[in-house]
Amino acid sequence: MRPKNLRLISLCLTGACLLSSCAWSPQPAPEAAAAPVQAESANWKATYAQLAQSAGKVYSLDPKASAIRIYVFRGGRDAKAGHNHVLSAPQFAGFVYVPFSGLAGSRFDLEFRLDQLELDNPEYRRELGPAFASLISKEAIDETRKHMLGEDDFQANRFPFVRVHSVQIAGEAPKLAVKVQVSMHGQERDVWVPLTLEGLPDRISVSGSLVLRQSDFGVHPYSVLGGLLAVQDEVIVDFKLAGA
C-alpha cells in the first residue's frame, strides 16, 4: 500500500475516534469543575419545599431509579467509518409537583452537568444492537471529551448545565403532552414532549422521548476532513424518571 494511502487512512481513523458532537466522558473536565456557574437545583429545593406546604405533593426524582439516554448518530460522506454514541446521566437533580386539584397545575424541573455525562457504557451499547455494538477505546473517549467540552463546541466551562423546566401540561394520565423549556449552551428553546405518567399518588414514574437539534442551541455538529466524517444534527433523548 502506498504511503499516501496509509496517511489518508490514518487521518480517517483519527477523525472517527473523535466523532460525536455530544460525546463526553464520565470524568469532569478540569476547566468545567472550576466554572463559577451555579446549580439551579439549590434554589429549586426551596421552591418545591414551599409547594409541598400547599395542596399537593412534591416528588424528588431518584437518579438510581431513573435512566436518561442520549443518542448521537454518525454522519458525513464516510459515515460507516465513524461510530454512533450513547450517553447517560448517572447524576442529576429533579423535582415534580402535582397538586391535588389536577395535573394541569403541575410543574417539574431537572438539571444535569455536561461533564458528568457517561459516554458509551459497553452494557448500554450492547443493548442497542449492531449499530452501537462496536467498542470504543478509553483513549478515543478521552480525546472526544477534550474536544467536545472545549471552546469550539459545547463550551462546558461557560455553560456546564443542561436544564429542563415545564411550561405547560395538557392531557390526562397516563398520557400527557408537555411543553418544556430546554436550556443549554446559553440558549433556551421550547419543545412539546409526549409523556407517560404512572405510579401516582405514592410514587411517580415519567417516561418519554424528544428530539433536539444541536444547531438550534448554537452548537455546530462536529465535522472533520471537510465533512468526510461528521455527526448528525438531530439527537434523540430517551428518559424514564422515577421518584417518591
- Please say whether the beta carbons of 182 and 189 come within 8 A: yes
Q: Is the pTM of this model over 0.75?
A: yes
Instruction: Please state which of the ranges 9-13, 99-103, 112-116, 187-191 shows the lowest mean pLDDT.
Output: 9-13
∠ Cα 36 89 63 (to 5°):
100
User: Shortest CA distance to 65 belongs to which of 242, 244, 207?
Assistant: 242
- CA–CA gap between residue 104 and residue 89 (Å, rounded): 28
For residue 88, report the phi and psi dihedrals to the nearest 5 degrees. -135, 160
Domains located in the chain, CATH noted: 26-72+86-118+144-221+232-243 (2.40.128.110)
95: cell is 423535582
**How many alpha carbons lie under 13 Å from residue 5 in its C-beta half-sphere?**
2
State which amino acid sits at residue 171.
Answer: G
- CA–CA gap between residue 34 and residue 105 (Å, rounded): 38
For 131-188, what is each residue's pLDDT tens digit? 998 888 888 888 777 777 777 677 888 899 999 999 999 999 999 999 999 999 999 9
- CA–CA gap between residue 88 and residue 64 (Å, rounded): 12
- CA–CA gap between residue 110 and residue 148 (Å, rounded): 23
State which amino acid sits at residue 220.
Answer: H
3-state secondary structure of 1: coil
